[in-house]
């Protein structure tokens, strides 16, 4: 049980009720480590002022435990964890810290103090899914890192996650791509709606299927950025298996298809408006050609047919209008509209020393994800791509990402880990074990703030698993590294005082474990020397 859960348990003993007391971290930590507005929530049913309720609750809460101190400020109840309790909690920080117990089928939501769900879910996480018609660009890299990191966080919380790449290997864009390569091979002009670039010239020289070649290169790039996939699902297999026609037949039997008129004369149209879309959608054109949306309908039905409880898609922000129509189709086919959740990601703007980078120096064309990885390394690439909220544009400075200084955020957090390893080597300390150390009467401020931050790791991971906000991992890593560096400068770790030395070694061993957990979730290395 986390500290947050223990606090909520104390409130439950005093107040009762099925809902846990809401806890937040005060902006001013001088007030306490946690705060709750539970008195405000109780004001209406109890017909009392929040301040009076809070004042009445404080002594009752204090009578339950000596581990936490409770105070009332302006109707809020602030909670401070005792120094002895904080130090005792260090023993819980192991390499599996924050994971649900192996014998429970119910992951716990540390942020809310209640189970995440009735049971563990089977989640299909689909991301990147680029057309195999060109190299992956930096935007694809952002989706790859977002998806891979989210998958790690969900799995850490006990969810069963399958990572899938949908191969768009059918349709007009594939025909245009193949025709472009063949035209170059025959020294003929590339079709007007075809593909251009040095990579087309290169593919034309190869005696190989250009689609498979490009897909293999995409797979290599994704492996190079440590984005792994469990499944590569081909759009062609949907058509070959008859799944697309089957989806159309289900809609037809439900009387959800009709023959269009006017501009859609002769087309087969889906009654999407019946399910919340802003207009009906064409599924089969008048010439018999199926639209891209038709295959997408069959694909999402296939996902649910495979037994997944939740579908998470990561799309570019330009697909915002596509969400409603896909959900409409899912509802029409399966009645499970809410099974689909979509994360929208904004663009990445590359800079070099503050100046925008538009083209590759090598090719004179768009800079590729592979070139970025080769220039700055996988750790920097992943960290920078994960560091900003997915729904905001990301300004990515390649020169900053290469700096070996504290100005570079990934260097800063990795250096904290390396510095800890250096101290532990100096002290010749074995891996963290349960210790007979007595809790101190009082912790130094730098010790206290570092420990408290480490103990909030499960809350951060749970919040990320629920809100899909992986940038919080980077923010947490930066804050933890800063607190460790401050601790390093404020508190001498190895001294003549054996008890103080042992206590501080235990603190930094815990910090090393927490940083390693974060780095594993982010998919970056944990260097022991820098």
Q: Which pLDDT tens digit goes with each residue over 305-348?
A: 999 999 999 999 999 999 999 999 999 999 999 999 999 999 99
Within 10 A of 447 (CB to CB), how many other CB atoms are there?
22
Q: How much is the mean pLDDT over the chain?
A: 91
Could you write out the DSSP letters of every residue in 77-143? EEEEE-HHHHHHHGGG-STTTTPPPTT-SS-EETTTTEESSSSPPEEEEE-----TTS--BHHHHHH
Q: How far is CA 161 from the centre of its chain?
A: 13
Q: Which pLDDT tens digit goes with each residue over 141-155?
A: 999 999 999 999 999
Superfamily of domain 409-522 in CATH is: Isoleucyl-tRNA Synthetase; Domain 1 (1.10.730.10)
Residues ≥6 apart with Cβ < 8 Å to 325: 272, 277, 281, 293
Instruction: Give the per-residue pLDDT at 99.
Output: 87
Instruction: Give the per-residue pLDDT at 332.
Output: 97
Residues ≥6 apart with Cβ < 8 Å to 393: 346, 347, 348, 349
Spans of the chain, pLDDT less than 70:
18, 101-119, 359-364, 429-437
Q: Same CATH topology for 3-81 and 409-522?
A: no
User: Domain limits of the chain?
Assistant: 3-81, 409-522
- CATH 3.30.1360.70 corresponds to the domain 3-81: yes
| Single pTM value for the model | 0.91
Answer for the pair 128, 140: CB distance below 8 angstroms, yes or no.
yes
Which tokens in the block code for residue 97? Answer: 């810290």
Helix ranges restricted to H, 186-261? 198-204, 210-224, 235-241, 243-253
Q: How far is CA 393 from the centre of its chain?
A: 16
Return the closest-CA partner of residue 147 out of 315, 368, 304. Answer: 315
Which tokens in the block code for residue 367? Answer: 């800079």
Answer for the pair 124, 310: CB distance below 8 angstroms, yes or no.
yes
Instruction: Give the per-residue pLDDT at 115.
Output: 44
Residues ≥6 apart with Cβ < 8 Å to 433: none
Length reported for the chain: 530
Instruction: Give the per-residue pLDDT at 362.
Output: 55
Residue for token pair 């009645």: 335
Answer for the pair 132, 168: CB distance below 8 angstroms, yes or no.
yes
Burial class (CB in 10 A: 0-12, 13-18, 19+), 430: exposed
Residue for token pair 């191969």: 167
Within 10 A of 145 (CB to CB), how many other CB atoms are there?
27
Instruction: Give the per-residue pLDDT at 52.
Output: 95
Q: What is the 3-state secondary structure (H, E, C) of 253-321?
A: HCCCEEECCHHHCCCEEECHHHHCCCCCEEEECCCCCECHHHHHHHHHHHHHHCCCCEEEEEEEHHHCC
Within 10 A of 224 (CB to CB), how many other CB atoms are there?
14
Instruction: Give the per-residue pLDDT at 107.
Output: 44
Measured between alpha carbons, how far is 297 from 289 in angstroms, rounded to an integer? 15
């Amino acid at each position: 049980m986390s500290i947050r859960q223990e606090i909520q348990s104390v409130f439950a003993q005093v107040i009762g009720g099925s809902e846990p007391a809401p806890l937040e971290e005060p902006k001013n930590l001088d007030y306490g480590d946690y705060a709750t507005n539970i008195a405000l929530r109780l004001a209406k049913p109890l017909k009392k002022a929040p301040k009076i309720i809070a004042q009445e609750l404080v002594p009752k809460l204090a009578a339950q435990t000596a581990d936490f101190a409770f105070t009332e400020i302006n109707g809020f109840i602030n909670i401070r964890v005792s120094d002895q309790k904080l130090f005792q909690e260090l023993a819980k920080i192991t390499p599996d810290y924050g994971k649900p117990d192996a014998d429970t089928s119910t992951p716990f939501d540390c942020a809310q103090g209640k189970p995440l769900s009735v049971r563990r879910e089977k989640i299909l996480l689909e991301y990147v899914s680029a057309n195999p018609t060109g190299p992956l660009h930096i935007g694809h890299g952002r989706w790859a890192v977002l998806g891979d990191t989210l998958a790690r966080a969900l799995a850490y919380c006990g969810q069963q996650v399958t990572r899938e790449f949908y191969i768009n290997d059918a349709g007009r864009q594939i025909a245009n791509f193949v025709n472009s390569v063949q035209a170059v091979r025959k020294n003929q002009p590339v079709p007007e709606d075809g593909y251009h670039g040095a990579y087309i010239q290169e593919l034309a020289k190869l005696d190989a299927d250009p689609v498979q070649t490009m897909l293999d290169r995409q797979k290599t790039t994704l492996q190079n950025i440590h984005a792994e996939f469990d499944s590569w699902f081909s759009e062609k297999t949907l058509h070959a298996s008859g799944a697309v026609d089957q989806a159309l037949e289900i809609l037809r039997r439900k009387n959800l298809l009709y023959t269009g008129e006017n501009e859609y004369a002769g087309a087969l149209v889906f009654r999407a408006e019946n399910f919340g879309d802003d207009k009906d959608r064409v599924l089969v054109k008048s010439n018999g050609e199926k639209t891209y949306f038709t295959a997408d309908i069959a694909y999402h039905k296939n996902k649910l047919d495979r037994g997944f409880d939740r579908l998470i898609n990561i799309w570019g922000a330009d697909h915002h209008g596509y969400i409603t129509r896909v959900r409409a189709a899912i509802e029409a086919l399966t009645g499970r509209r809410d099974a689909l959740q979509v994360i929208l990601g904004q663009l990445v703007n590359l800079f070099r020393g503050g100046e925008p980078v538009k083209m590759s120096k090598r090719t004179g064309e768009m800079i590729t994800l592979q070139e970025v990885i080769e220039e700055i390394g996988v750790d920097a690439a992943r960290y920078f791509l994960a560091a900003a909220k997915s729904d905001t544009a990301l300004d990515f400075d390649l020169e900053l990402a290469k700096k070996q200084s504290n100005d570079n955020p990934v260097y800063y957090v990795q250096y904290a880990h390396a510095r800890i390893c250096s101290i532990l080597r100096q002290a010749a300390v074995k891996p963290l074990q349960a210790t007979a150390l007595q809790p101190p009467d009082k912790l130094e401020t730098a010790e206290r703030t570092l420990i408290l931050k480490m103990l909030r790791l499960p809350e951060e991971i749970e919040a990320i698993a629920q809100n899909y906000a992986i940038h919080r991992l980077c923010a947490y890593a930066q804050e933890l590294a800063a607190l460790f560096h401050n601790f390093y400068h404020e508190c001498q770790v190895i001294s003549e005082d054996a008890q103080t030395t042992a206590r501080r070694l235990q603190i930094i061993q815990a910090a090393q474990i927490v940083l390693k957990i974060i780095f594993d979730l982010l998919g970056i290395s944990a260097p022991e020397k820098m």
